[in-house]
Amino acid sequence: MTSERAPIARLVDVVKTFRRGSEEVRALGGVSLDVAPGEFAAVVGASGSGKTTLLNMLGCMDTPTGGRVLVSGRDVTNAGERELAEVRKHSVGFVFQQFFLVPTMTVLENARIPALFARNPAGERRAAELLELVGLGRRLDHYPGQLSGGEMQRVVIARALVNSPALLLADEPTGNLDSRNAGGIMELFESLHRGGLAIVMVTHNPDLAGRAGRIVRMEDGRIMA
């Protein structure tokens, strides 16, 4: 599962265990995975198979119990909170099932929030460009309450890309959408992928997974294929 090009994110024999009461749960049992630049991978598997934990590791949202995690060539296995925040800020974009849009802020303001934390003065211009790219160029001044679910998820995608990350992590990005809007989001992902963006998407939907360039199947905390 390696690529000839230097991977954007790399998991090397990553183990993650945690306690649930008196029981020790092994969420990841020695997982190795390389995400190459421009790659579009879909992670599939049953509930509890470790998909979300895998995404946590790639997104520097959690630290492993064992093994190594490298993002953008940087070993973040034992990184502190501040260093992990830096990596998340500049290297990774996140899209989740829930939108987390601020209802009292316009579409443009919502999309530029990550730029605020990155102290990126060009954030507003970049956010406007991305919103144009995702088809919301005419709705910059609208509020989330005036948008459909599919449009809100497009705002979320624009927001995830405002700091120009090389890797987009998506956890069930179409989980709250009807099939028409879900199809639209997938087309957008494919378009972004063609533009060179690496995408790792967790999904339960085999049709959507089939549209990714690579499928990573997980079972009991291990990658099966």
Count of alpha carbons within 13 Å of 116, Cβ hemisphere only? Answer: 7
What CA–CA distance (Å, rounded) separates 85 from 68? 18
| Stretch of 22-30, 38-46, 89-97, 134-142 lying at the interface with another protein (CB under 8 A) | 89-97
| 113 contacts another protein (rule: CB under 8 A) | yes
Question: Residue 94, interface with another protein (CB under 8 A)?
Answer: yes
Place of tokens 């790639």: 58
Query: What CA–CA distance (Å, rounded) separates 95 from 173?
Result: 6
Window 150-209: residues binding another protein (CB under 8 A): 159-160, 163, 171-172, 175
Site map for another protein, 63-82, x if CB under 8 A?
A: ------------------xx
3 vs 97 by CB, closer to another protein: 97
Separation of alpha carbons 89 and 179, rounded Å: 31
Helix residue ranges per DSSP H, 29-141: 51-58, 81-91, 107-111, 113-117, 123-133
Q: Report in angstroms how near the CB of residue 179 gets to another protein at its nearest.
A: 20
Q: Contact, 189 vs 201, CB < 8 A?
A: yes
Query: Of residues 50, 59, 150, 173, which one binds another protein by CB under 8 A?
Result: 59
- Site for another protein contains 129 (CB under 8 A): no
195: DSSP letter? T
Can you tell me which residue has the tokens 């992902």? 189
Of 26-34, 64-72, 92-100, 179-187, the window that binds another protein (rule: CB under 8 A) is: 92-100
C-alpha gyration radius of the chain: 17
The DSSP call for residue 146 is G
Whose Cβ is closer to another protein: residue 1's or residue 61's? Answer: 61
The one among 35, 42, 43, 56 contacting another protein by CB under 8 A: 56
Binding site for another protein (CB under 8 A): 52, 55-56, 59, 61-62, 81-82, 85-86, 88-90, 93-94, 96-98, 100, 102-105, 109, 112-114, 116-118, 124, 159-160, 163, 171-172, 175
